[in-house]
Structure 1
């Protein structure tokens, strides 16, 4: 899975002319197929709800999680353009435990289809870190897994993910049937989920100032999409399928500012439609022998300032907001997927501003190995915050 996030630029900026297919004049983004289940459809009056208000909820059974009450909660949120949208989170609550600590865990989605969201993927095995996300249940905590990419499954849209994450927590506190209104709250996630988690923490003081967070743990953060973009090559790569998904997801969220479909040749438009509803494993398998060079028809996004602006707007390195809660960041020093220096810059800025930050550096190169190495420390960090222990500050480890 190395260099997947950086490969986004193979689609965003370095779309080169390398096909016998003719370019298309205009082409709309390809959005996911609408949900058949009406629970996931926003009501026409979604704009009348306040961010975080509960739209509807339902309880259901899930065999592998015995002794646990499981709910879907639909709520109002906001997209990157400021428009109202409906989000969904799935929460697992230990049966009979009043006001348990609550962790919102932003899972690895890395996909384009709604079937890949945690609201579906806990039963179809498409959430690769579902087991690790469920581990806090053994500590007596409740665990929520939001569909933080929004209704259009906009993979790569970090600002959106932060808002949906915060609104999902608001909704869980506002649903009296869940018994979480007085629960202490923490956020956690890795890689794409770490991006959503870190953005939620940084946006909370301005977007959801009434929320009190006990702690935040985020790892493997793609903190500077523009930097990743500038350093990418555009040949074949085994992780191209996920890079493609990130480009398509950003186009879904910014259709006017990132008209990537306009830059595709006929094969690219076919591949866009072929993958529009698919999940991580499908994307990896079918992207392994493909590249932006094969699927693009023009260089017109090469140095587009608007495209660069979108990447910067979704890069934590350039976001001025600061968490007001104890925060742990963990990162592999030699991670080829999510560059260390961008996260180190974020950590330095946080420490200089007085954020109670624990920054853990792991001398590891492989992206997912760092996830496994750092997750126990992350859970222990959060547990200490739930116990009310003073947060340490460690800007360099």
Structure 2
């Protein structure tokens, strides 16, 4: 299809950048090429990408490392596992996960894969690093919940689900890494979880990785049996989420900018937003290339796409639009075959609730047992806390093998 025909099919280009509204999909003829800016390499060789992964399969264990004990998780053993996964193009990558186990863990006791919120672009933002930092920007906020699970004798699995390039915004990648993490830990003999019942959970960005893992499992990892997935505050549609930010200023524009940078890292040929940035945009990109939540938020607070775009001309790029659509779960045809517990705020200021409702309805129609709950708060982060007790009870029942209820 030539450019003219594509333009007629897709309409006026009101979105390469309208689509990632705050992510700078403004297309013009750039004067110079700006390559994707990847995170600084981790000096620890454990996190390095092997030179050749061609002889491995997704979930194969590459390395296992005992980790120091953590004061916030008393009487708990910590193990890091490096394993083979796939990126969004189906190419092999090495990923990592951290396993917390109570010292009195019984063989084949329940396993909970918890996808932590990772709003970050650099190595220090990974869960495996966050556990060992005192930086208030990075500290684990779900530690109380994790300790409850550990005291129940569960093994906690915490994947670094953004992958080695910290591709923030690449939601489908997060689902694949999560499933391969579960594949991997079953193979580590000293963890004694080869026959454990496994469930998954996560909120917001972690909920997005959880939801994608649940939806991808029938096709990507059909042999991985999962008892259920609990997910809250999930951005089910990145297209509508980013369009909602528009071209005006927004207090969390930094997250949208970070998502654009992350998607470019994962799809460098199809999502070249750096080519569309002006000098301020490139400077902002450089300032957050290795940043975590607070620095990312500060970089874009009160700003918008027009502050960082090289031009205001709007021309739709079908490849860029396809990238955002591919990472929008509402638009994915597949549905989980495992039971699902979903919760969200009825008036969430950060994510489109309609996309959650539409996705849940489609899953119900496909036969997925879904329990959905609305938390009595308009605040995205408060909803996380309010929904966790019910999610924990639901997970406990799934890990005990009880039949899953449904509110479909």
Scaled to the shorter chain, the TM-score interval is: over 0.9
Is this contact kept in 2: 1:118–1:127, CA < 8 A? no
Matched, 1:75 2:83: yes
Change (3 A) 1:87 1:133: farther
Structure 1 residues 307, 203: closer, same or farther in 2, change over 3 A? same
Measured in 2, the distance between the counterparts of 1:279 and 1:214 equals 32
Q: Is it true that 1:168 corresponds to 2:181 in the alignment? A: yes
| Helix, strand or coil at the partner of 2:54 | helix
Contact 2:179 2:221 in 1 (8 A): yes
Q: Give the corresponding residue for 1:120.
A: 129
* 1:282-337 CA distance string (max 9 Å, x none): 11223224432111102466522222111111111011111111111112111121
1:31 alignment partner, one of 34, 38, 41 = 38
| Pairwise CA distance, 1:363 | 4.0
Distance across 2 between alignment mates of 1:92 and 1:300: 50
1:351–1:357 contact (8 Å) kept in structure 2: yes
- For the residues of structure 1 that align with 2:312 and 2:155, how far apart are their CA atoms? 48
Match of 1:326 in 2: 339
- After superposing on structure 2, the runs of 4+ consecutive aligned residues of structure 1 that deviate more than 3 Å are 299-302
**Matching of residues 55-204 of structure 1 within 5 Å:** 55-64=62-71, 65-98=73-106, 99-124=108-133, 125=135, 126-135=138-147, 136-204=149-217
Whole-Å Cα distance in 2 between the matches of residues 337 and 350 of structure 1? 23
**Cross-structure match for 2:269:** 256
Q: Which moved more, 1:195-204 or 1:269-278?
A: 269-278
Specify whether residues 297 and 133 from structure 1 end up closer, same or farther in structure 2 by C-alpha distance, changes over 3 A only.
farther
Correspondence for 1:310: 323
Aligned match for 1:43, one of 50, 60, 83:
50
Partner Cα distance (2:157, 2:272) in 1? 34
Give the drift of 1:8: 4.9
When residues 234 and 16 of structure 1 are mapped into structure 2, their CA distance, relative to the original with a 3 A threshold, is farther
Aligned counterparts of 1:182 and 1:301: Cα–Cα separation in 2: 53
SS of residue matched to 1:93 = strand
Shift of 1:7: 9.9
SS in 2 for 1:47: coil
Checking the alignment, whether the CA contact within 8 Å between 1:12 and 1:302 is kept in structure 2 is: no
Q: Given that residues 76 and 84 in structure 1 are in contact (C-alpha distance below 8 angstroms), is that contact kept between their aligned partners in structure 2?
A: yes
- In the TM superposition, what whole-angstrom CA distance separates every residue of 1:200-251 from its partner, at most 9, and x where no partner exists? 0010011111111011001101001111233222233221222211111011
> Is the partner of 1:31 in helix, strand or coil?
coil
- 2:23–2:259 CA contact under 8 A, matched in 1: no
1:212 aligned residue (225, 230, 235): 225
**1:113-148, Cα deviation, whole Å (9 max, x unpaired):** 011000101111414434145231122211111100
In the alignment, what sits opposite 1:3?
Answer: none
Cα separation, partners in 2 of 1:230 and 1:240, compared to 1, 3 Å: closer
What is the count of residue pairs matched by the alignment? 385
1:359-396 deviation line (CA, Å, top 9, x unaligned)? 1122432111111111111111000111111100112x
With over 3 angstroms needed to count, the CA separation of the structure-2 counterparts of 1:113 and 1:301, relative to structure 1, is farther
Query: For the structure 1 residues 236 and 357, does the alpha-carbon distance in structure 2 shift closer, same or farther, using more than 3 Å as the test?
Result: same
Is 2:368 the partner of 1:359? Answer: no
> Gaps spanning 5+ residues in structure 2: where?
1-17
SS of the residue corresponding to residue 46 of structure 1 reads coil
Q: CA RMSD in A?
A: 1.9
Report the secondary structure of 2:248's partner residue. coil
Does 2:13 align with 1:10? no
Say which SS state the counterpart of residue 89 (structure 1) adopts: strand
Relative to structure 2, which stretch is displaced further, 68-77 or 37-46?
37-46
Distance in 2, Cα, partners of 1:299 & 1:140: 56
**TM-score, normalisation: structure 2:** 0.90
Question: Does the alignment pair 1:384 with 2:397?
Answer: yes
1:178 positional shift: 1.1
